[in-house]
Amino acid sequence: MRRVVIVGGVAGGMSSATRLRRLDPDASIIVLERSSYVSYANCGLPYHIGGVISKKQDLLLQSAESLNMRFNLDVRILSEVTDIDVQAKKVTVEDLRNSRKYLLQYDQLILSPGAQPVVPPIPGIERALTLRTVEDVSVIVKAVEEGPKRAVVIGGGFIGIETAENLRHRGIRTSVVEALDQVLSPLDAEMAMLVANEMTQHGVKLYLGQSVTGIYDGWVELSSGDTIQADMVILAIGVKPDVSLAKMAGLEVGSRGGISTNSCNQTSDPNIYAIGDAAEKVDALDGSASLVPLANIANRQGRIVADHILGRDVRWVPTIGTAIVKVFDLTVATTGWNEKRLLAAGRNYLPIHTHPNSHAVYYPGAESMAIKILIDPQTGLIMGAQAVGRAGVDKRIDVIATAIRAGFRAEDLADLELAYAPPFGSAKDPINMLGYIAENLTSGFSKTVQWDDLQSRVDQGAVLIDVRTGAEYLQGHIPNSLNLPLDELRRRMADIPGKEVIIYCQVGIRGHTAVSLLRGYGYDAANLDGGYQTWVNSPANNTADSYV
């Protein structure tokens, strides 16, 4: 009888355990979980803090007893593996309820220990609460129920933002301190500013480009010397792979600090597998090691390991890092690489910004969104995308993520036959429009200028023309721009003081029409990518909110 020991439950561990049982009704499958809960929805933890998910029980998917009854799994909670003997193929287990230790033999060992919160060595850090497990959220909920007036969340990533939102749901004055100069580092700056605006509008105070240097009774100190009053502090800087057992067993740890694995998730010991947040992944864009702590990847890896152990063919699947988060009334999603990462890697890329509506504009309830896609200008392949909006974001980012996985070129997006009816989309879906724009740019029919390159181009002599109406221009415009409305442009070309021109409108559509017209008459014309709406929400606009 095959003996499989799994260290850690939740997404990866339980996926491998249940898949193993479906494939082999007789195998001995033992799951060792050091916490009190083996199967729970950890992505839902912040929403229990805010009362959106009112009952903790709703987060608990299965218990040790239910897993035993349904799958005949030997699930042992409050059981921590303290040592691995790779030669004898045994693990040492400590029962945390009575400190008793015992040995377990295995044929295959699956490591799914997850990740640990990053805890910086600053004075008073022991006063901060972390959010990683059901036990953690119980402590935070208890603290919230004691009625704190002010909270500080350290970290402006996905968990930090979700936690801040849910603290605001509880009526707590909340501040977020983030060492970077923006929230949500997977986003590029102009997209992150949309998120920051949403947070400040809902009463969250942002301290960007600063770090916490000390946590004290009733207040925290920042690197700037400023102080913030705080009745509670929650630490959400991020996580790091838990590789303590792997190191103890002499397994190879990769360049990103996670357990190194092959395409079947085997470690440097072929009888030991590693999955989930503790294991390094392979990036789909360049094949480099990557750390992507996402539940769907952990689930997929659990299935792959079970199949491989039982001799089934498995598919190697690199990651593109698709993620989504709710920020008050916004949906924020990303997939693939962002512009910062492409720049750091020296990769050539072409950004495209659009601001489409979630469905047909004439049908009630249409909401504007911002989509940014990054493509390889030579091959047309999609390298990454980001989207922010109130409706329709998840649908579009999922299509783009699928296109990346399929190896589509950006112009192929124009050919996708997507479901359309006025309440759900447009005859030319935002995805199709991205394809049309990419085709125009890569073919040389049109060209664009980015928000962060605009000022240097104007300084070098380019004429900046606003083709919106006079009323729109008066409501707000880019400094030193000339207002020539699109419908007057053909008869007023003599008013353009030069042949090199940069056109902008509100979102880029009228600008494209103007560029096509002027290029036909010999002008060196380019369209401001994403139009005024992208520029006004970017760092290029020095009147944009600076927060704190």
Query: What is the rounded distance in angstroms from the CA atom of residue 218 to the CA atom of residue 232?
Result: 8
- Supply the DSSP symbol for 539: T
User: By C-alpha distance, which of 72, 69, 60 is closest to 31?
Assistant: 72
Q: Are 222 and 210 in contact (CB under 8 A)?
A: yes
What single letter denotes the amino acid at residue 21?
Answer: R
Our separate counts of H helices and E strands in the chain read 16, 32
What is the β-pairing status of strands 79-85 and 382-389?
unpaired
- Name 125's Cβ contacts closer than 8 Å, sequence gap at least 6: 119, 215, 235
Query: What is the rounded distance in angstroms from the CA atom of residue 417 to the CA atom of residue 399?
Result: 11
From first CA to last CA, the distance across the chain in angstroms is 62
Q: Are 366 and 355 in contact (CB under 8 A)?
A: no
Query: What is the rounded distance in angstroms from the CA atom of residue 299 to the CA atom of residue 319?
Result: 13
How distant is the alpha carbon of residue 412 from its chain centre?
25
From the list 6, 233, 505, 536, the catalytic residue is 505
Write out the two tokens for 484.
């020539």
Query: What is the rounded distance in angstroms from the CA atom of residue 279 to the CA atom of residue 277?
Result: 6
Query: What is the rounded distance in angstroms from the CA atom of residue 187 to the CA atom of residue 333?
Result: 9
Rg (CA), the chain: 26
What single letter denotes the amino acid at residue 157?
Answer: G
Please tell me whether residue 328 adopts helix, strand or coil conformation.
coil
- Name 307's Cβ contacts closer than 8 Å, sequence gap at least 6: 19, 23, 313, 314
Q: Are 103 and 87 in contact (CB under 8 A)?
A: no
The answer to whether residue 43 is catalytic is: no
How distant is the alpha carbon of residue 57 from its chain centre?
27
Query: What is the rounded distance in angstroms from the CA atom of residue 210 to the CA atom of residue 222?
Result: 6
User: By C-alpha distance, which of 467, 443, 454, 316 is closest to 380?
Assistant: 443
Catalytic annotation, residues: 505
